[in-house]
Structure 1
Amino acid sequence: MKIINKYILDELKGPIILAVFVFTFIFLLDIVVAMMEHIIVKGISIFDVLRLLSFYIPPILTQTIPIGMFLGIMICFTKFSRNSESVAMISTGMSIRSILRPIMAIAIGAAIFILFLQESIIPRSFVKLKYVGTKIAYENPVFQLKEKTFIDNLDQYSIYVDKVESDGKAKNIIAFEKPEDKTKFPMVLTGEEAFWKDNSIVLKQSQFISFDENGKKNLTGTFDEKRVVLTPYFENLNLKIKDVEALSITDLVKNIRKVESEEVLKYKIEIFRKLALIFSTVPLAVIGFCLSLGHHRISKKYSFVLAMIIIFAYIIFLNIGIVMASAGKIHPFIATWTPNVLLYFLGYKLYKAKEVRGI
């Protein structure tokens, strides 16, 4: 039996890893498309973009591991059924329960790994994501450039951007110098056009206006081109996690009593959502196993269609529940755990049907 269990585990690894990879790539597509703008238009290096993408992967994995494991189990046992290997396993005296044992081991292992991601890796990933994103923004301000935007997180200047062209150049810029003496009025720089180069903003057709201590115009001047060095003050930046999704279950439970009343609901939804994802691995593994186990002459296309329906139904019901819970229509536990309860019920029914029929 140990040899067969090892064989099943070895055969499951490839399809599960492939399925998780495919679903993770699909979930990343929107982010990748958004990042392409930064690469092509705003001049961000591919290396920096890949670093940013790597920090998005852990939270996505908590969603793609359960469904990837589900599809991977189906692929593996469909092959077993097609090659009559599942029939051979039953013929050697293995019961449905004994065949299911290594699958349950993978499901429990996946649940533990998701818990590890949620408690340890994801909070750090969000900190790193903000850290690297802010560093890129300071070193290359065009990264955060948007029309009708006031940029105030630079060390020496606050900048207003009226319009951004498709080539990344800005139009109608106003820059306010930040004086060391806060009681003094800032010098104002304007420019009809601007572009960024070597951590500096270059203003074309620029004008400057300074003011005296009473706020009256003191000095004015014009430049065909004015280079303003933007010194980043990133080294001493201390970032804290504020997004609810970035917090671990432990931190959510600890902080739920400290937050304002309107934030309590968000914390409860996130706690139950994270727990629901952890415990979804077991029923999905059982359902995938039961749908794919059978005689090789039985067509499997309907099983795969049903499998995709189950996957998308679970995702849709979970998201609908979260929306309704956020609106105060349903208790957060009911909203996030109803899809799980349905999965456990379906898994139990399919398992009992297979156990009665023997295969």
Structure 2
Amino acid sequence: MKIIDRYILNEIKLPVIFGVSLFTFIFLIDIIVAMMENIIVKGISIIDVLRILSFYLPPILSQTIPMGMFLGIMLTFSKFTRTSEATAMSAVGMSLKDIVKPIFFSACVVTLFIFFLQESIIPRSVAKLQYLTAKIAYENPVFQLKEKTFIDEVDEYNLYIDRLEGKEKKAKGILIFQKAKDENFPTVVVGEEAYWKDSAMVLKNSKFYNFNEKGKEVLRGKFDEKRIPLTAYFSEIEVKVNDVEAKGITTLIKEMKDKNSDEKREYSIEINKKLAVPLSTMMLSLLGVFLSIGHHRSGKGANFALSLIVIFSYITCLNIGIVMASKGVIPVVLGVWSPNIILFLITLIIYKKKAEVI
């Protein structure tokens, strides 16, 4: 690799990292606000919050990396223009093709990395996220113990909570139905207080009632405290990712065969999207060079604003195309790939104009 190529690649590193970080933060704002509420109000540990955010990152990065590449390259080559480095490159005999060669190479590498994220990392991250959020929901009373709510998702029990009291959100007025496969009527437990701790439900000052097959009471009793462990339940959980956006292309193709026409359309849209968005990285990267390099002296603000306009225009066109394709107004391929086609044409036109000057 030439020294100038290494120099260009080295110069784009920090701006690209800045761009990816900026757009990732924008995408994460709503999630971060919700996580702050969980920390302050609901008592979720910071470690669990950080784990949740780490599982959200791969799906978001698959969308923000192309945007960050474009913004970072725009900032870098606008700097080259302001400092006359672009003019120096042209003066030593570098053509526009020579200048963009390392950019195109890095864009290809990044595109392959996004495909790797989609096929390998994102499905695992989504599965772990679903498992972790479900586990927190069972371990933390705030998520499951809700007033005037009948809860039927707790292993072998159905619960009804009358009210929650205190900062610890202890449940008062508990009604529990313990399910049994070989009995017509469940065991009924009426308790004064309950709370969840360390993957276990703890009941205090409660009474229980057993019934025969005809519904007649045959046994009653009471206990001061009863602990029901739920660890075994979590060890048997199998998380299945049903969201098509969280599945890899190969998985979508396999599952698509057994779907009806409407479901196939949804799968087809997602498959095309998972191909189109990563491939847009190459066009956005080249377009970033062509829009910012030259002999003009535009400031950072203008280039930054231009990059945001291009990025959000691409996102808007992509979303409109997906909506129209999902409703059957236009073919799936046209709806998903139109923004990429437009990007390609704009990039080609600007390249021809710039090549005449540089």
Partner amino acid, structure 2, of 1:136: I
- 1:46-76 Cα offsets, whole Å, 9 max, x none, are 1112112111111111100000000000111
Deviations along 1:216-250, one digit per CA (max 9) or x if unpaired, are 34456788x76552423111222222221121111
Tell me the distance in 2 between the aligned counterparts of 1:67 and 1:339: 14
Q: Secondary structure at the match of 1:188?
A: strand
Q: Secondary structure at the match of 1:142?
A: helix
Q: Bigger shift: 162-171 or 11-20? A: 162-171
Q: 1:150 to 1:38 in 2, by over 3 A?
A: farther
How many angstroms apart in 2 are the aligned matches of 1:138 and 1:161?
A: 15
Following superposition, the deviation at residue 7 of structure 1 comes to 0.3
For 2:166 and 2:26, how far apart are their aligned partners in 1? 27
Q: Is the 8 A contact 1:41 1:166 kept in 2?
A: no
SS at match of 1:176: strand
> Is the contact between residue 249 and residue 274 of structure 1 (CA under 8 Å) also seen in structure 2?
yes
Q: Which amino acid aligns with 2:178?
A: E
Task: Give distance in 2, aligned partners of 1:151 and 1:84.
Answer: 67
Distance across 2 between alignment mates of 1:333 and 1:161: 51
- Structure 1 partner of 2:264: 264
Partner of 1:289: 289
Query: What is the TM-score of this pair, normalised by structure 1?
Result: 0.89
Match in the other structure for 2:330: 330
Displacement of 1:162 in angstroms is 6.2
> What residue number does 2:178 align with?
177
Other-structure match for 1:152 = 152
Once the two structures are superposed, the pairs formed by residues 129-144 of structure 1 within 5 Å of their partners are 129-144=129-144
Gaps of 5+ in 1: none
* 1:21, distance to aligned residue in structure 2 (A): 1.4
| Larger mean Cα displacement after TM superposition, 279-288 or 295-304 | 295-304
> For residues 323-359 of structure 1, what are the alpha-carbon distances to aligned partners after superposition, in whole Å with 9 as ceiling and x for unaligned?
222222222211111111111111111111111122x
Cα shift readout 1:297-347 (whole Å, capped 9, x = no counterpart) = 344543332221111111122122222222222222111111111111111
> SS at 1:175's partner residue?
strand
Letter in 2 for 1:250: T
Question: Residue 101 of structure 1 aligns with which residue?
Answer: 101
- Counterpart in 1 of 2:127? 127
Greater displacement, 27-36 / 67-76: 27-36
1:92-112 per-residue CA deviation (whole Å, 9 max, x = no partner) reads 110111101111111111111
What corresponds to 2:40 in structure 1?
Answer: 40
Distance in 2 of aligned mates of 1:93 and 1:110: 28
Deviations 1:176-214 (A, max 9, x none): 1123x4324112234576543343445678564432221
Question: Do the aligned residues in 2 keep the contact of 1:55 with 1:126 (CA within 8 Å)?
Answer: yes
Instruction: Name the residue aligned to 2:79.
Output: 79
- The corresponding residue for 1:321 is 321
The alignment partner of 2:235 has SS state of coil
Structure 2: 5+ residue stretches without partners? none
Relative to structure 2, which stretch is displaced further, 28-37 or 208-217? 208-217
For 1:160 and 1:330, the matched residues in 2 are separated by 49
List aligned pairs for 1:1-359, cutoff 5 A.
Answer: 2-145=2-145, 149-161=149-161, 167=167, 168-170=169-171, 173-179=174-180, 181-190=181-190, 194-202=194-202, 208-218=208-218, 227-232=226-231, 233-295=233-295, 297-358=297-358
Return the letter of the residue paired with 2:230: T
Q: Deviations over 1:139-185 (max 9, x none)?
A: 33533555665443433422245666795455664321123x43241
Contact 1:191 1:204 in 2 (8 A): yes
1:126 CA drift (Å): 1.6
Contact residue 265 and residue 326 of structure 2 kept, 8 A:
yes
Sequence identity percentage? 54
- Looking at structure 2, the residues matched to 166 and 265 of structure 1 have their Cα atoms a distance apart, in angstroms, of 50
Report which stretch shifted further, 182-191 or 330-339.
Answer: 182-191
- Is the 8 Å Cα contact of residues 142 and 196 (structure 1) preserved in structure 2? no
Total equivalences in the alignment: 356
Change (3 A) 1:198 1:259: same
TM-score (norm 2): 0.89
Distance 1:169 1:319, change over 3 A: farther
The 1:26–1:227 alpha-carbon spacing in structure 2 relative to 1, beyond 3 Å, is: farther
- 1:87: Cα distance to partner? 0.6
Q: Give me the CA root mean square deviation.
A: 2.6
CA distance in 2, matches of 1:170, 1:31: 28
